[in-house]
Amino acid sequence: MPRRSAQEWIRLSMRTPGILIFGMVLAPCGWILDLTATVAPNWRTLHGVPNIAADEFIQQGIWEVCRASSINTGGDCSLSDVTYFDNQIIMVAQGMMVASLIVTLGGLAVAIPGVRCWKDSPNWIVAGLGGLLIFISGVLTLIPISWYTHIINDITSVTPLTDVRVGYSIILGFIGGILEILGGFVMFIGICRCCGGKNRGERRVEETRRQFSHQRAPRTRQPVPSLSRASSSARSSVPYSKESMDEDVSFPRAKTPAGRSANTSTSRPYDDDL
């Protein structure tokens, strides 16, 4: 990051930089998806369980186990499965998912004062720290989600594992964690100037002055020749005289035909003349 004493930077506009808007939009979206993945009891589903109806299946989350049906919308979430909740991944997922939600809220609380543009430029240090917290919250989400998916068939339960399928909470958790990682990373790179300051909507003062001086170059004034009008006694509005028109002719004029001599004789013509 160049020192300010060496190079001066200027904001191109008073608008909030795009990287901060990008992060502030993705972070809440990721938090909502992570919240849904945390509280929803559908990290995995068990189908084909004996001693229950064919249209029923077991949904297992990190907080409760439910029995659902593909026909009825209601379900029974009062099932207990001590063996399932004693797995290490369940305890780790509970702690990390809750921590991810809290860290995301903390990151947003830190980033909002830095993003607000009531000054000429945002507070990039504060906004970058908020982005770092959001990035960490996304990592905290992806770790238990990935671990659970990797060992989904090895997690023990009192219910026989006949047909194990991934639940929608896993998918929502993956999407939410990726959104938080992208949003936090984009906000964090605002701490440093890269791409010539374009990532922060800035430009060097020297380049801006050079550009404006080139665009606003002074125009040279062209001298306009003055027209001297010939003064006449009649003060005609025509700026030239008849003599100048006769002299300034670039093509030959037709000659005036000579006048015929009039026969003033009143005598009658002779026969020879006829």
Q: For residue 255, tell me if it sits in a domain.
A: no
Q: State whether residue 2 is helix, strand or coil.
A: coil
- Report pTM: 0.67
At residue 17, the pLDDT reads: 77
Q: For residue 257, tell me if it sits in a domain.
A: no
Domain housing 101: 17-212
Q: For residue 99, tell me if it sits in a domain.
A: yes
How is residue 166 annotated by DSSP? Answer: E
13 Cα distance to chain centroid:
15
Place of tokens 């001086």: 213
How is residue 228 annotated by DSSP? Answer: P
For residue 198, give the CATH number of its domain: 1.20.140.150
Among left, alpha and beta (phi > 0; psi -120 to 50; other), residue 162 is: alpha
Q: For residue 220, tell me if it sits in a domain.
A: no
Q: State whether residue 69 is helix, strand or coil.
A: strand
Q: For residue 237, tell me if it sits in a domain.
A: no
Number of domains in the chain: 1
218: its two tokens: 């002074």
Q: For residue 120, tell me if it sits in a domain.
A: yes
Among left, alpha and beta (phi > 0; psi -120 to 50; other), residue 197 is: left
Q: For residue 107, tell me if it sits in a domain.
A: yes
For the chain of 274 residues, list the mean pLDDT of each consecutive stretch of 10. Answer: 50 68 92 94 88 85 88 78 91 94 94 74 84 95 94 88 89 95 89 62 56 55 60 51 52 57 52 52
Q: For residue 261, tell me if it sits in a domain.
A: no
CB of 106 within 8 A of CB of 160?
no
At residue 163, the pLDDT reads: 86
